[in-house]
Amino acid sequence: MARKPNYKFERMERDRAKAAKKAARALAKAEKAELENPSEPGTDTDSETDTDTATDEE
């Protein structure tokens, strides 16, 4: 005798697998972007020192 299908559970499992795959791809994409451009404009500490030295030179 065949088992009774549990459509809700199977759908939740497919959605969970899809979400995990999507999260892994997003993480890989973010890591790749970080390797290509390691410094963000707002997080670069050297830019703050560059502006300080530029005002001292004038």
Convert the chain into a string of H (helix), E (strand) and C (coil): CCCCCCHHHHHHHHHHHHHHHHHHHHHHHHHHHHHHCCCCCCCCCHHHHHHHHHHHHC
The reported pLDDT for the residue numbered 51 is 58
Both tokens assigned to 5: 């299908």
The reported pLDDT for the residue numbered 1 is 82
The reported pLDDT for the residue numbered 17 is 98
The reported pLDDT for the residue numbered 4 is 94
Report the C-alpha gap between 13 and 15 in whole angstroms: 5
pTM reported for the whole predicted model: 0.53
C-alpha separations of 7 from 12, 17, 32, 41 in Å: 9, 15, 37, 48
The reported pLDDT for the residue numbered 5 is 93
List the chain residues with pLDDT less than 50: none
